Chains A and B, each alone.
Chain A
Amino acid sequence: MSDDDEALLEAVAGAYRERGPRGEVRSHPAWHDLDAAGREAAWAAAAESRAMEAALDPGGLSSTARAVLARIRRAG
């Protein structure tokens, strides 16, 4: 895998996602630039990162969970 592909993979494996005009969670733009193997690898990297984040968080929350809860609290 090239450095550029690896950077795309790591970008997709992160938890940040933009919101659409109706507040919906949007796919990461880099996801569309990955081939099937790259998308599978990004899924695995995300699972690994979320497991680590949750293990380090006192409440067991990953970045995914924290992003969702922040959004709920902002809306409330």
Chain B
Amino acid sequence: MADLDVHHPAIAASDAHAFGRWVAAAEPELRVSLRSFAAVADCEAVLQEALLRVWQAAPRVEPDGRPNALLRFAVRVARNLALSEARRFRTAALDEGAFERVLDDVAAGEASEGPDPLLRRAIEACRDELPEKPAAALAQRMGAGGAEPDELLAERLGMRLNTFLQNFTRARKLLAACLEGRGVALAAEWR
């Protein structure tokens, strides 16, 4: 299993490409570590803020002889941000189990590795079977890479926002059903 600290020296030297490789492998673990916060904080916002802080703090994170020091640091940053958001929104208490399990896993070097080419081909095949409008909504969000609001993506397609979101939901559900038919549980890849 991968020790993502192999990227740490380059990240500490401000190599954004190295950080990209680290994020590609670290994101599933970080997202799962936030699962118990899903009802009390916006985990997408927490995750993005945590990644930005990891980038800034990477030169000051010291290796401790165990695998994935930077990922363990990131899990703690994300958890503290989520707790802070939960307090700010006065939302409920939490189950710490998922967070502790992820920390144990990454300390043992059990972080996931890069994209699976077979999974990619299966998704591409299912994507090609989508009806026109759901396919267009999916392509807009994929192309935007999280940098543009849905209102703008909907406008580009000549759709109302709700229509765009309904088409995206349809695309996501059709893809999941198609993949399931091929024996792929997409959600299990990151949960």
Same complex for A and B? Answer yes
By a beta-carbon cutoff of 8 Å, the part of chain A in contact with chain B is 3-4, 6-7, 9-18, 24-28, 31-32, 36, 39-40, 42-57, 59-73, 76
Complex interface: chain A residues within 8 A of B31 (CB): 46-47, 50
Task: Tell me what chain B mostly uses at the interface: helix, strand, loop, or mixed.
Answer: helix
Stretch of B1-9, B59-67, B99-107, B168-176 contacting A (4+ beta carbons < 8 Å)? B168-176
Query: Are B146 and A51 in touch, CB under 8 angstroms?
Result: no
Complex interface: chain B residues within 8 A of A51 (CB): 28, 186-187, 189-190
Query: Are A60 and B115 in touch, CB under 8 angstroms?
Result: yes
Given contacts A10-B165, A61-B20, contact A28 B45 (CB under 8 A): yes
6 contacts between A and B (CB under 8 A): A48-B186, A63-B145, A64-B27, A65-B23, A68-B51, A73-B16
User: CA A14 – CA B172 in complex, angstroms?
Assistant: 12
Query: Are A7 and B120 in touch, CB under 8 angstroms?
Result: no
Closest 9 CB pairs of A and B: A15-B146, A67-B146, A66-B145, A43-B38, A60-B24, A27-B42, A63-B146, A36-B39, A60-B115
User: CA A24 – CA B168 in complex, angstroms?
Assistant: 27
Q: Which among B27, B55, B161, B176 has the highest number of chain A CB atoms within 10 Å? A: B27
Task: Tell me what chain A mostly uses at the interface: helix, strand, loop, or mixed.
Answer: helix
User: CA A67 – CA B144 in complex, angstroms?
Assistant: 9
For residue B126, give the distance in angstroms from its CB to the closest CB of chain A. 9
Is B87 an interface position by the 8 A CB rule? no
User: CA A56 – CA B146 in complex, angstroms?
Assistant: 15
For residue B182, give the distance in angstroms from its CB to the closest CB of chain A. 13
User: CA A27 – CA B41 in complex, angstroms?
Assistant: 8
Question: 15 new A-B pairs (CB below 8 Å) besides A45-B172, A67-B147?
Answer: A12-B42, A16-B148, A24-B49, A28-B44, A28-B45, A39-B40, A46-B31, A47-B187, A51-B187, A51-B189, A65-B20, A67-B146, A68-B23, A70-B145, A76-B16
Query: Are B189 and A61 in touch, CB under 8 angstroms?
Result: no
Query: Are A17 and B48 in touch, CB under 8 angstroms?
Result: yes
Complex interface: chain A residues within 8 A of B120 (CB): 55-56
Complex interface: chain A residues within 8 A of B142 (CB): 53, 56, 63
Complex interface: chain A residues within 8 A of B51 (CB): 64-65, 68
